[in-house]
Amino acid sequence: MNATKVIHVMTMTAVLLAAGVMSAAPNGPTKPAKTKSEADSETAHIVNAIEAAGTYDVPKLELRHQKNYARTSQDLEPFGFEKPYKRFFLDQMIYSGPGRGLPEPDDIKSVKLGFIGPIMSTVSVATGGASHEESLGIKMLQGAQLAIEHANAKGGYLKRHLPFALYVSNDNGLWGASGNEIIKMAYKEKVWAILGTVDGANTHIAIRVALKAEIPMMNSGDTDPTLTETNIPWIFRCIGDDRQQGYFLLDYLYRKLKLNRIGIIRASNRYGRFGVREIRDGSRRRGHPIALEMAYKLGTKDFSLQLDRLEHEDCEAIVHWGDAGDGAVILNQMRAMGMNQPYFACDRCVSDKFVKIADKNAEGVICGYPWNPNRQDPKLDAFRAAFEKRFGEQPETYAAHAYDGMNMLIWAVQTVGLNRAKIRDVLAYRKEPWHGVTGDIPLSPSLNDRGDVFLARRENGQWKYYSREDLGLPQ
């Protein structure tokens, strides 16, 4: 498989036929093609302000501001209730460069959008040895492909009747390589925006290159809280991060269950280290410092050392942060040792792999989760049906969030045209939440998804999803 390729989903003739824009009524004239994206009054106001700004001025639009970052409870606030000199992430960053003045190119045959994700096996120190995220990246790619196909079935880029094309790049896990792929997409392939990736370390490198290249990046798979906290105005995220999921877990552990001694076992990579940071810091702020935090290397099969030490600390509950397979093996070894404490985990453990390995031990496990797949929503139902028809299986969280993220980029292109700065602007200044298949996606001032997150509990062989309201916990 060539890791770098352009996927043209269908020819324009087939696209227009599928969309019905070339069909003629039996006794009437040919139906005219739709020529522009429909925009509500708020979006029209935003677009007018972007256009009025010209090349060097910043659009005169209201920036995002919030008084509370990431829905932080008062007793989780840093600095012991003392007001710091400066608070970050509450006010939106602006882009004040000249990119809005670049004209739309004439000599293009398709509108390219980029994808970068782990879709091929590799070995990397950055990912903790042998790569382990291909299953996540492939689902992300499928969600992005489906969004492109659906856009082309509706006429492609409506302003010029051009098809959208997806330029696919593998995130091979080597530090620096992801940056090279962003450079290739931005300057050689000339994509207009990029969706990706999963690994936190590689994503951080990629977004810094995107800053230099001035190209919008939408992230749908990296839940590292620090991603959008870099305050880079070109990066967006359409999935709830580990800070928000961690805070919800803490509220449940301490407010609902009234526990005092929590133990942590996590992967020794960036995902595990940054995933539990808010749980560790939040527990300390609440007056219940973590009893013990144990790390393990990826590829570990025997977790007896870590579990023996956690058992010795008399932990009332265990929190795991790592991949689904590791989480299930740890749970099985805990139960075999007679450790019957409640088991909590990250969103990656809400998966068929976890359930298959853990088997009956999965019952009662609680995980943070960025959305509610069980909600009644015709848009979600239609997405599931289309995904199953296209790929022969039901979509999971990485496919669903990638579908939403790519559709957000497509909407921005349809709304303001082929100009990277304007694509960034219309997403950054949009006030209304994006209504996606994963639910409403309202962006914070740091351009992070600040929508509701959930707790997933395994009950009677099924995952049930609970909001804060369901559990009687305050926002």
One domain, residues 126 and 194: yes
Closest CA to 279 of 243, 323, 254: 243
For residues 286 and 76, is the Cβ–Cβ distance under 8 A?
yes
Identify the three-state secondary structure at position 452.
Answer: coil
Residue 188: pLDDT band by 50, 70, 90 thresholds? very high
**Portion of the chain with pLDDT greater than 70, in percent:** 87
One domain, residues 247 and 237: no
**pLDDT value of residue 241:** 97
- What one-letter code names the amino acid at 263? G
Please state the domain count of the chain. Answer: 2
The phi and psi torsions of 449 (rounded to 5 degrees) equal: -65, 115
Q: Is 196 inside any structural domain?
A: yes
Give the integer Cα–Cα distance in Å for 199 and 206: 10
- What one-letter code names the amino acid at 75? D
**pLDDT value of residue 167:** 98
Dmax over CA atoms of the chain, in Å, equals 83
**pLDDT value of residue 123:** 60
One domain, residues 102 and 187: yes
One domain, residues 166 and 279: no
Higher-pLDDT residue of 173, 427: 427
Residue 466, beta-bridge partner list: 455
Residue 463, beta-bridge partner list: 458
One domain, residues 258 and 188: no
The phi and psi torsions of 67 (rounded to 5 degrees) equal: -85, -20
**pLDDT value of residue 88:** 82
Q: Which residues contact 215 (CB under 8 A, 6 or more apart)?
A: 182, 185, 186, 191, 192, 193, 194, 234, 420
Q: Is 82 inside any structural domain?
A: no
For residues 99 and 214, is the Cβ–Cβ distance under 8 A?
yes
**pLDDT value of residue 29:** 42
Q: Quick count: other Cβ atoms within 10 Å of Cβ 467?
A: 15
**pLDDT value of residue 85:** 66
For residues 147 and 434, is the Cβ–Cβ distance under 8 A?
no
Q: Which residues contact 281 (CB under 8 A, 6 or more apart)?
A: 78
DSSP state letters, 46-66: HHHHHHHTTTTSPP--PPPB-
**pLDDT value of residue 178:** 85
For residues 96 and 421, is the Cβ–Cβ distance under 8 A?
no
One domain, residues 289 and 200: no
Q: Is 77 inside any structural domain?
A: no
Tokens of 387: 């995904």
Identify the three-state secondary structure at position 153.
Answer: helix
Residue 264: pLDDT band by 50, 70, 90 thresholds? very high
One domain, residues 284 and 196: no
**pLDDT value of residue 34:** 45
Give the integer Cα–Cα distance in Å for 348 and 467: 18
Q: What is the pLDDT of residues 147-174, one digit of tens each?
A: 999 999 999 999 999 999 999 999 876 7
DSSP state letters, 174-229: -TTHHHHHHHIIIIIS--S-EEE---HHHHHHHHHHHHHHT--EEESS---TTTGG
**pLDDT value of residue 73:** 82
Tokens of 338: 């007679």
Over residues 230-249, the mean pLDDT reads 96
C-alpha of 34 from chain center: 31
Give the integer Cα–Cα distance in Å for 103 and 319: 52
Q: Is 68 inside any structural domain?
A: no
pTM recorded for the entire structure: 0.84
Length of the chain: 475
Q: Is 76 inside any structural domain?
A: no
Angle at which helices 304-312 and 324-336 cross, to 10°: 60
CATH assignment at residue 334: 3.40.50.2300
One domain, residues 306 and 349: yes
One domain, residues 334 and 385: no
Residue 3: pLDDT band by 50, 70, 90 thresholds? very low
For residues 321 and 311, is the Cβ–Cβ distance under 8 A?
no
Closest CA to 157 of 146, 165, 167: 165
Q: Is 180 inside any structural domain?
A: yes
**pLDDT value of residue 18:** 38
**pLDDT value of residue 11:** 35
Strand 343-345 vs strand 366-369: parallel, antiparallel, or unpaired?
Answer: parallel
One domain, residues 365 and 394: no
pLDDT at 32 over 50: no
Q: Is the dihedral of CA 322, 328, 331, 336 positive or negative?
A: negative
Q: What is the pLDDT of residues 383-411, one digit of tens each?
A: 999 999 999 999 999 999 999 999 999 99
In which domain, by residue range, is 167 found? 5-20+50-63+94-241+376-443
Give the integer Cα–Cα distance in Å for 188 and 286: 51
Q: How far apart are the first and last CA of the chain?
A: 47
pLDDT at 124 over 80: no
**pLDDT value of residue 131:** 63
Work out the mean pLDDT of the chain and round it to a whole number.
89
Strand 317-321 vs strand 262-267: parallel, antiparallel, or unpaired?
Answer: parallel
Give the integer Cα–Cα distance in Å for 96 and 218: 20
**pLDDT value of residue 125:** 53
Tokens of 52: 């009025």
Q: Which residues contact 287 (CB under 8 A, 6 or more apart)?
A: none
For residues 405 and 220, is the Cβ–Cβ distance under 8 A?
yes
One domain, residues 194 and 270: no
pLDDT at 6 over 50: no
One domain, residues 10 and 115: yes
Q: Is 36 inside any structural domain?
A: no
**pLDDT value of residue 65:** 87
DSSP state letters, 377-446: -HHHHHHHHHHHHHHSS---HHHHHHHHHHHHHHHHHHHH-S-HHHHHHHHHS--SPEEETTEEE-B-TT
Q: Is 171 inside any structural domain?
A: yes
Residue 121: pLDDT band by 50, 70, 90 thresholds? confident
